[in-house]
Structure 1
Amino acid sequence: MGITIRIMTWVLWALIISLSVYFLFDNVIAYFFGYRSRLFGDSFFHNQVWVALHMGGGTLLLLSGPFQFWSWFRKEYLSIHRLLGKIYLIGAGLAGFSALRISLISTCLPCRISLFLLSVFMLLSSGLAWLSVKQRNIKAHKQFMVRSYVCALAFVTVRIDGILPLDFLFSNISDPIFRRTVNEYFFSFVPLIIAEIIMTWLPSVRRKRYQH
């Protein structure tokens, strides 16, 4: 059972890192090396600055995030883990606050609410992760970091519609706006709900069972 869990964990991390690398090359690098979408303003200082901040903050999140959850690295290089944690929080702040602004100007009107809520959840979970570690509540710190990272990955998955295996769930939706809205809400909140069930719901049931 332990081997199976380890294999599933490595497969999951391989998928997460692969999607992150794909997003960095397909979106971030393309943006900073010339691509500018008119959907987010007609100049850098007219709304596109928010996209640049979001991309830059997201890059810090994606590059530092996996190291934060690598237990061996955390134990062997605690000082670097703390430094990367600060870099992660800076990225979360940049990506989160800029996403709040982007949510107000998104061309997908129904998606504005999901993007705004996702931004709030990421900022809140990241802030609580910092507060809990300051209070030396390591368990709460780990859980809030998971929530924050799941929110960060949601910004990735909602932007790569069409390459994920679960995309077939939306294949019968012909209306592009409705399809995008479903995609945004699904990848923004379903992973967060699953993480919550694994971290809090299931352990609480197991504890109750052992008490009887």
Structure 2
Amino acid sequence: MRIPLLFGKILFWACLIFLSLFFYYDSVIPYFYGYRSRIFGTAFFNNQLWVTMHMVGGTFALLLGPSQFWPAFRNRYLKFHRIAGKLYMFGILLIGISAGRLSLVSTCVPCRISLFLLTVFAVTATWFAWVAIKNRNTKAHRQMMVRSYVCVLAFVMVRIDDGQSLNFLFGSISDATFRRVVNEYFFSFVPLLITEIIMVWIPSVYYKRK
């Protein structure tokens, strides 16, 4: 039973890391080589600062996040775990500031609410994770870190539809704006709901009182 479970975990993390690295290569690195889109704005304080801050913060959170969840790695390299955790929180802070600003000027007006709420959830979950570990509540700390990282991954998953059709999820939606709104709200909140079901609902239902 343990071998299939271990294989499943390895496969899960391999897919997650591959998807994150592909997103980073395809959607983040081009900006540092001079690529510009409408969202990048026209001046330093007209989006350029915020988009750059968003990408830098996202880099810390996206790439350092996985190492926070591997028990063997975490226990063996505790000092790195703590440093990486602080850098992760710093990344979330940058994401919170920048995404909060970008949510007010997004070209997809109906998407602004989902972006703002997702930003609030990411910052709040990270804050509670920090409070929990300061109070030596490791279980709550792990759970809040999971929620935080799910929010970070949502920023990746909302970009999937740009390169890979998700008609099997949403059906064929011809209106581009409506399709983007459905995509944004689905990946902003459905993964969080699934996380709650796995992490809280199922254990609470199947827990047997001794």
TM-score (norm 2): 0.95
Once the two structures are superposed, residues 59-78 of structure 1 have per-residue CA deviations (whole angstroms, 9 ceiling, x without a partner) of: 00111111100111111111
Aligned-pair distance for 1:164?
5.3
What is the percentage of aligned positions where both structures have the same residue? 59
Q: Which residue in 1 is equivalent to 2:77?
A: 77
Q: Which residue in 1 is equivalent to 2:7?
A: 7
In structure 2, the CA distance between the partners of 1:15 and 1:163, relative to structure 1 (3 Å rule), is: farther
Q: Letter of the aligned partner of 1:157 in structure 2?
A: M
Q: Which residue in 1 is equivalent to 2:131?
A: 131
Q: Which residue in 1 is equivalent to 2:56?
A: 56
Uncovered stretches (5+) of structure 1, i.e. residues with no partner: none
SS of the residue corresponding to residue 174 of structure 1 reads: coil
**Structure 2 counterparts to residues 53-132 of structure 1, below 5 A:** 53-132=53-132
Alpha-carbon contact 2:128-2:144 (below 8 Å) kept: yes
Q: Which residue in 2 is equivalent to 1:144?
A: 144
Once the two structures are superposed, residues 136-173 of structure 1 have per-residue CA deviations (whole angstroms, 9 ceiling, x without a partner) of: 00000000000000000000111231455855222411
Q: Which residue in 1 is equivalent to 2:209?
A: 211
Mapped to 2, the partners of 1:44 and 1:28 lie a distance apart of 18
Moved over 3 A (4+): 162-167
Mapped to 2, the partners of 1:12 and 1:36 lie a distance apart of 33
Q: Letter of the aligned partner of 2:161 in structure 1?
A: D
Mapped to 2, the partners of 1:179 and 1:20 lie a distance apart of 23
Alpha-carbon contact 1:40-1:106 (below 8 Å) kept: no
Once the two structures are superposed, residues 104-123 of structure 1 have per-residue CA deviations (whole angstroms, 9 ceiling, x without a partner) of: 00010110000000000000
Equivalences, count: 210
The answer to which of 83-92 and 10-19 deviates more is 10-19
Mapped to 2, the partners of 1:168 and 1:59 lie a distance apart of 30
Alpha-carbon contact 1:103-1:113 (below 8 Å) kept: yes
TM-score (norm 1): 0.94
Alpha-carbon contact 1:40-1:105 (below 8 Å) kept: no
